[in-house]
Amino acid sequence: MDWPGRNQVLMCCVLGLLCCAGLPQQGLCSASTVSLPENLLFVSTLDGNLHAVSKKSGSIKWTLKEDPVLQVPTHVAEPAFLPDPNDGSLYSLGGKNSKGLTKLPFTIPELVQASPCRSSDGILYMGKKQDLWYVVDLLTGEKQQTLTSSFAEVFCPSSSLLYLGRTEYTITMYDTKSRELRWNATYSDYASTLPDDDTKYKMAHFVSNGDGLVVTVDSETGDVQWVQNYNSPVVAMYIWQREGLRKIPHTNVA
């Protein structure tokens, strides 16, 4: 082989070695700069924000901003329907035979599941359920893509992406007697399950009903671990386990 040919072969070998040597370094760099989701606590607030916060301090790492958990009319005739943003349960207030605030035997998600249906007093119920997936950068919280049933894009596998499922439940009530729209509401909730049975979660969270104040204590010693205010009432809290959100309990305090 002549010298020009040897030089070309040598150059190709050198470039190949450089590329191979660079791959592990790139992987190590990405692994060291991305926080593991297991180290985070996810706090959902009434205004639609999902805060990824430190388990140790409660400080916000990033925030995913979405529509409010509840979207309801501001002015409605009695009896009024009042939804609970924690789980979508419904309460009625007012009306002819009202005894004050009464909890109804169903939630917004259950009504949507049962619709279309009709009540004995002539109210027609119509429901709509929409599932979404948010593809979120674990490091920054930036939304990379919103996936719906009508659109999905193939992604290259990456350890720095979180896939967060969210469901929107919309219920509409129509009064056949007055022939008017009685009430409508949209309730949103992140897809989650309960933690594994063997999970030893050693924190208890107390949240204020009036604002976003959260007090976290050690469930064994009772010592306060951290106090944070997220500027909107907390409706749910999650940990990350087995590639998904797991809902953890919190206690509402007036």
Give the total number of structural domains in the chain: 2
Verify that 88 and 163 share a domain, yes or no. Answer: yes
What's the whole-number mean pLDDT along residues 232-242?
A: 94
CA pair distance 104, 90, nearest whole angstrom: 6
Same domain, 183 and 76: yes
pLDDT at 254: 79
Q: At residue 5, does pLDDT exceed 60?
A: no
Distance from C-alpha of 241 to C-alpha of 201, rounded to nearest angstrom: 12
What's the rounded mean pLDDT across residues 145-162?
73
Confidence of residue 157 (pLDDT cuts 50, 70, 90): low
Give the residue with greater pLDDT, 170 vs 146. Answer: 170
Residues 46 and 146 both lie in one domain: no
What's the maximum distance between 2 C-alpha atoms anywhere in the chain? Answer: 102
Same domain, 41 and 99: no
Q: What is the pLDDT of residue 97?
A: 63
Residue 10 has pLDDT above 50, yes or no: no
Model confidence band, residue 150 (pLDDT cutoffs 50, 70, 90): confident
pLDDT band of residue 152 (cuts 50, 70, 90) is low
Tokens of 73: 């009319």
pLDDT in tens, 17-75: 333 333 333 333 333 344 578 889 999 999 999 999 999 999 999 999 999 999 998 87
Query: β-strand 143-147 against 123-137: which pairing, if any?
Result: antiparallel
In a domain, 25, yes or no: no
If one counts every other C-beta atom within 10 angstroms of the C-beta of residue 232, the result is 18
DSSP lists the bridge partners of residue 237 as 43, 248
Does 106 share its domain with 118?
Answer: yes
Alpha-carbon gap, residue 53 to 6, rounded angstroms: 57
pTM of the model: 0.80
- Of 191, 210, 228, the last residue of a domain is 191
User: Cα dist. 67→21, 94, 167 in Å?
Assistant: 46, 29, 12
More confident residue, 34 or 194: 194
CA dihedral 56, 166, 194, 254 (to 10 degrees): 60
Distance CA 208, CA 215 (A): 9
Q: Are residues 84 and 153 in the same domain?
A: yes
Taking only the tens place, the pLDDT of each residue in 100-143 is 788 989 999 999 999 999 988 889 999 999 999 999 999 899 99
Domain that holds residue 210: 34-65+192-254
pLDDT of residue 101: 86
**pLDDT tens digit string along 158-183?**
558 899 999 999 999 999 998 989 89
Q: At 222, list the tokens.
A: 């009772």
Q: Does a structural domain hold residue 24?
A: no
